[in-house]
Structure 1
Amino acid sequence: MTKFSDLNLDKKVLKAVEETGYETPTPIQAGAIPPALEGRDVLGIAQTGTGKTAGFTLPMISMLKRGRARARMPRSLVLAPTRELAAQVAENFDAYSKHTKLTKALLIGGVSFKEQDQLIDKGVDVLIATPGRLLDHFERGKLILSDVKIMVVDEADRMLDMGFIPDIERIFGLTPFTRQTLFFSATMAPEIERITNTFLSNPAKVEVARAATTNTNITQSVFMFKGSRRDRQDSEKRKLLRQLIDSEGDACRNGIIFCNRKMDVDIVAKSMKKYGLDAAPIHGDLDQSKRMETLAAFRDGSLRFLVASDVAARGLDVPNVSHVFNYDVPSHAEDYVHRIGRTGRAGNTGTAMMICIPRDEKNLADIERLVEMEIPKGTLPEGSPTQDDVPTEAKTEEKPKRSRTRGGRGRKKSDDTDVAEQTETAAAPKPVEKPANAEVDVAKEKPQTERRGRGGRGRGRQDNGPKVAGLGDHTPTFIALSFDERRGHPVDLITEAAERDEAETLEPEVSDEEE
C-alpha cells in the first residue's frame, strides 16, 4: 500500500500531513502527486470527496519551497468557483504549509479591496482566488500574472456551470506559456475537454473513477411525493422533510438540505427552526461574514442542519456529515453527484435522501441516466400527506379545458354533439301549419332572428324591416323646436318639413319620354 512517504514530498510537508492524521493517500492523490512533482501538467478526474484539494496543494508547497515572491507578482495561482471553496483551499494550504515560510493571499468577493491589495503588494507565493475578483484586481493594475509558475483550476465543471469559462480562458492568456497546469474536475463535459486540449501540454491523465459516479459508501433513496392540493404542496413537502429527519432517529447526527432556489433556502430554514430543528441558511445573497460564520458553526458541531443552495454543493469538506437531503431534485444532473458527495467522505458511510414531485420526474430521469443506475424508491413515512387525504368537501370537479375554435369563443364540441342537437330538435315545438287560403297579417308576423358570423355587428339582433330614416315620430321637443327671430315666436320644424314634403309631392312627375 502506498504511503505519503513514498511520494517524494518535502519533509516539512510530510510532517504537516502526519500531524493532520493522514497516513495513506487517496487514489487521486497517489496518481496526481508524482507527475505534478515532475513538473508535468495533470488532468485529474475523480468523484467529489476523494481528496483532490490535497492532490494539488501538497506538490505545490513542495515545489515552491525555494524562491521568493515579488510585489504584485504571485508565483502560483489557484482558481476556485465559489468563495467557500476558495476559503477551504486556503485552509488546506495553511494546514500543510505551517512548517514553511510560504505566504498566501485569498481574493474573494465580500472582502475589502484595500486589505487584499496590502497582501498583494507584499508579495505572495500562492494566490487563491475566484475568477471575477482576480480579474477585478488585474484591471485595477494591482496584479501581475507574468511570474506564475503553477496554475491550478479546481472544480472545472462548476466553472462551466457558473459561466466562468470565458474568464478562465482570459486568465490562461495572462499567464506564461511555460507554466505548469493542474486541472481537476469531478465530471468531464465536452467544453471542459476542449479547454484541456487547448491549454494543457501532454497532461498526465489521472482518472480514478468513471466520470459522474457516486460514492458506493452512500445509501441513496428517492421519495415520490405529490401533495394533496396544489396550494398545500409546499407546506406538505416541508412536513415530509421533517418526517424523514425524524425517521432516521439518532443516526441523523447532522445534515445538509439542498434547495434549488435561494428563496426556498430561507423558507425551509425558517420552517425547521419553527418546529425545533436547529438550522441556518447559506446562499449567495448573504454577506460573506455571515456565510463563513454559518459554515464554521456547522463544522464545529454547534449547528445541526445547514440549509443551502448549490453554493455549498461543490468541494466543501465538512467532516462527518451523516445525511444529505435533496429538498429539490437538482435541475442539472451533475449537481446531484456533488450534493450527495458532502457525505460519505474519507471512507465514512453516508445517507442521501431526495424528494421528487411530479414536475421533477424528468430531472430525476436525467440523474439516473448520468449515474447509470436507478435510485431506489423509498417508502413514505406514516402520516405523510397524499391526495387521498383531501376532505370530500374540499375536492372540486375539474373544469373542462377551453379551446378556441373559429365558430365561437372557447366552446368546444364534445363527441356527443350530434346526439345533443338531435335531442334539442326533438324537444323544440313544431310550427303550426296554416291553411293555404289563410291571409297573412304582416304586421302581426314576428320577424325571424338573423344570425351573423363572428365579428359582425349586432349578433343575434332581429330583422325589424327597413330602418327608419331621420328622427322618426319620437323626436324630443327641445330638438324639434327652434326660435325664429323674424317672427318672434317658436316654429314647429316638423310641421314645416311636412308641408314642404307635401308640396314636392303635388308637383307633376315628368316621364322619361318627355325628358
Structure 2
Amino acid sequence: MKFADIGLSDELLRAVTEAGYDEPTPIQAGAIPSVLMMRDMIGIAQTGTGKTASFVLPMIDILAHGRARALMPRSLILEPTRELAAQVAENFEKYGKYHKLSMALLIGGVQMGDQIKALEKGVDVLIATPGRLMDLFERGKILLTGCNLLVIDEADRMLDMGFIPDIENICTKLPANRQTLLFSATMPPPIKKLADKFLSNPKTIEVARPASRNENIEQFLVKTSERSKRDTLRGLIEAEDIGTAIIFCNRKTTVRELAKSLQRYGYKAGEIHGDMDQSSRIAELDRFKAGTINILVASDVAARGLDVKGVSHVFNFDAPWHPDDYVHRIGRTGRAGAKGRAFTLVTPSDDEAVDNIQKLTGYQIPVHSQASPTASDAKAAGVEDREPRREARSGRSRGGSKSTKDEPRPVKATEEAPSKPKKSGDKRKPPASDRHDDRDGPDDGWNGPMPSFLSVGFGTE
C-alpha cells in the first residue's frame, strides 16, 4: 500500500514524498482512513511505529478547510512532555508546509507571552501539555468550545504522570460531538476506562499486542552490583559499536552524577532531566541530534519525547520502577525498521522489577554473556571515580597531570588504610570512606564535624 492509496490530498502527498516516505506503516495504514472518515479511534502500537504521523497527516487535510477564531483553537493535541509536544509541532511544520495552517505550542518552562499572542490571533492546531493548558484556561486566555478534534497522545504515560484527572477535566470543556483520537503503546485498565467514558463507538487499530517485543531490538540483562555499575556500563560502551546511545536512570541526581563521571572518562556525554529549564533541555537535545555528543544520560522525562534517528543503543543504568517505562525506554532505538540493542543493568535488588517487565512483555530477556567486574575491579573503579573530587578539594594531584587513558589508574595497597574485620552482629555503619557515594539514596543527615556549640551543656553550674 502507498500513501496515495489512503485518501490524502495532493499537497500532503507532496510533502510526505519530500520527507522521504512512500509507504505507510501498519498503524498509519489502519488509522488514517478512519480519521479521515471522522470516526473516534483508539490506536495501539509500539513506540517508534509512526503513531505521530498517523494522526498528524489526516488532521492537516481535515483542517485545510475552515477558519480559526481568536482564543478558540479548532483542534487540540495533548502530550505528556514538552519534548513530545515539540516533536509533534515539528511534524506539523514538515508535513503541513503546503497548507496555510496556524499552530501554537503550549508547554511549561517558557514565557506565556508569545503563547498568548498566538492564541489571540487564532490557531488551527493547538499542541499542549495538560498543566500549561489548564493554567491558561483558568486565566481566561483560551476557550475550548470551538475545538472539534481532540487527540490524546501517549495516554499510558499520561496515567503514569498523574494527568488523567486533568484530561477528564479538559474533556468536559470540549464540545460533546467532537472527534476524539486516543493513542497509546499500552492499554492499562484506567486508560480503557477513560476511552469508554469519552470516546463514542471508537474503532480500535492494534498493530501489535500491547507491550509486545519489538523484533528489531535485541534485549539483554547485564548482572552487576551496586558498587560496580559504572564500571560495568563503561565496559559495555567500550565493547559495543556505539553510534549514539541513551542511558536511562531512575533519579535526576543519578543522571547528573553519571553524566559527569562519563565526561571525566573522556566520553562525549550530555544530560537531560526534569530539573533543567526548557531552553537547556532543547539545547542539550540539539547537541545530541547534531552529533556534538553521542551519549545522552536521561531520566524518564525523555523516554517518550525523543525521536532521534540512528540511536543504536539504549542502556538502562537503573531497572525502571514501572514495567511500562521499560517498553518506552528501549523504544528509543530500533525505530522505523532499524536495528537496535538494549541493555539493562540489574542487581539482586532488581529481581522483582525484571519479573514484572518480563510478565508485561511476555519475553524472557537473555542474560548478556559479558562477565561482571570482579570485586577488586569494582573497588578500584569506585576509588578512581571519587579521586577527582578529593583532589579538587585538596588542591593536590598525583604527578601533576591528568592521565589520558580511559582505564582507571591502579590503586596501591599503601594508599588505602587497612580495615579491621567486622565482628559478627556488629551493626555499626561502615566508615564514610568505605561507603559507596555513587548511589543516589536518601539524605542521611549531617555527617561532618560536630559544631562546638552543640557540646554546651544547659542547666548545670
- TM-score tier (shorter): 0.7 to 0.9
Name the structure 1 match of 2:293.
303
Name the structure 2 match of 1:239.
231
Q: 1:59 to 1:396 in 2, by over 3 A?
A: farther
Is the Cα–Cα contact under 8 Å of residues 211 and 361 in structure 2 kept in the other structure?
Answer: yes
Name the structure 1 match of 2:425.
400
Letter of the 1:399 counterpart = S
Q: Match of 1:214, SS?
A: coil
TM-aligned CA deviation for residue 387 of structure 1: 7.4
> Is residue 121 of structure 1 aligned with residue 114 of structure 2?
no
Partners of 2:169 and 2:41 in 1: how far apart? 20
Letter of the 1:15 counterpart = R
Alignment of 1:193-212 (within 5 A): 193-212=192-211
TM-aligned CA deviation for residue 394 of structure 1: 5.3
Partners of 1:389 and 1:139 in 2: how far apart? 54
Alignment of 1:37-436 (within 5 A): 37-227=36-226, 233=227, 236-248=228-240, 251-381=241-371, 384-386=373-375, 396-397=421-422, 399-400=424-425
Is the Cα–Cα contact under 8 Å of residues 272 and 279 in structure 1 kept in the other structure?
Answer: yes
Q: Match of 2:311, SS?
A: coil
Q: Match of 1:281, SS?
A: strand
Partners of 1:394 and 1:247 in 2: how far apart? 35
Letter of the 1:198 counterpart = K
Q: Match of 2:84, SS?
A: helix
TM-aligned CA deviation for residue 332 of structure 1: 0.2
Name the structure 1 match of 2:7.
8
Structure 2 residues without counterparts, runs of 5 or longer: 380-412, 428-461
Deviations, residues 19-75 of structure 1 (Å, cap 9, x unaligned): 000111000000000010000001000010000000000000010000110000000
Letter of the 1:258 counterpart = F
TM-aligned CA deviation for residue 214 of structure 1: 2.7
Letter of the 2:293 counterpart = L
Deviations, residues 89-142 of structure 1 (Å, cap 9, x unaligned): 000010010011000000001111111100000000000000000000100000
Letter of the 2:245 counterpart = G
Partners of 1:373 and 1:396 in 2: how far apart? 44
Q: Match of 2:31, SS?
A: helix
> Normalising to structure 2: TM-score of the pair?
0.82
Partners of 2:287 and 2:35 in 1: how far apart? 35
Deviations, residues 189-224 of structure 1 (Å, cap 9, x unaligned): 100000100100011100000001131001110111
Name the structure 2 match of 1:36.
35
Partners of 1:189 and 1:398 in 2: how far apart? 50
TM-aligned CA deviation for residue 300 of structure 1: 2.0
Letter of the 1:267 counterpart = E
Q: Match of 2:337, SS?
A: coil
TM-aligned CA deviation for residue 397 of structure 1: 4.3
Letter of the 2:11 counterpart = K
Is the Cα–Cα contact under 8 Å of residues 226 and 386 in structure 1 kept in the other structure?
Answer: no
Q: 1:103 to 1:359 in 2, by over 3 A?
A: same
Partners of 1:21 and 1:191 in 2: how far apart? 38
Q: 1:224 to 1:47 in 2, by over 3 A?
A: same
Letter of the 1:142 counterpart = K
TM-aligned CA deviation for residue 389 of structure 1: 7.3
Q: 1:381 to 1:275 in 2, by over 3 A?
A: farther
Letter of the 2:96 counterpart = S
Q: 1:121 to 1:243 in 2, by over 3 A?
A: same
Partners of 1:280 and 1:398 in 2: how far apart? 44
TM-aligned CA deviation for residue 316 of structure 1: 2.2
Partners of 1:316 and 1:226 in 2: how far apart? 29
Percent identity between matched residues is 55
Alignment of 1:21-32 (within 5 A): 21-32=20-31
Partners of 1:205 and 1:142 in 2: how far apart? 35
Greater CA deviation, 114-123 or 358-367? Answer: 358-367
Partners of 2:256 and 2:177 in 1: how far apart? 47
| Deviation beyond 6 Å, 4+ runs, structure 1 | 387-393
Is the Cα–Cα contact under 8 Å of residues 69 and 123 in structure 2 kept in the other structure?
Answer: yes
Partners of 2:121 and 2:220 in 1: how far apart? 51
Is the Cα–Cα contact under 8 Å of residues 81 and 305 in structure 2 kept in the other structure?
Answer: no
TM-aligned CA deviation for residue 388 of structure 1: 9.3
Partners of 1:394 and 1:149 in 2: how far apart? 71
Q: 1:395 to 1:16 in 2, by over 3 A?
A: farther
Partners of 1:222 and 1:188 in 2: how far apart? 25
Partners of 1:286 and 1:219 in 2: how far apart? 31
TM-aligned CA deviation for residue 301 of structure 1: 1.7
Is the Cα–Cα contact under 8 Å of residues 226 and 387 in structure 1 kept in the other structure?
Answer: no
Deviations, residues 230-261 of structure 1 (Å, cap 9, x unaligned): xxx1xx3112111110011xx21110000000
Partners of 2:34 and 2:142 in 1: how far apart? 29
Is the Cα–Cα contact under 8 Å of residues 243 and 381 in structure 1 kept in the other structure?
Answer: no
Letter of the 2:44 counterpart = I
Is the Cα–Cα contact under 8 Å of residues 147 and 176 in structure 1 kept in the other structure?
Answer: yes
Structure 1 residues without counterparts, runs of 5 or longer: 228-232, 403-515
Q: 1:350 to 1:31 in 2, by over 3 A?
A: same
Q: 1:284 to 1:149 in 2, by over 3 A?
A: same
Q: 1:386 to 1:142 in 2, by over 3 A?
A: same
> Normalising to structure 1: TM-score of the pair?
0.74
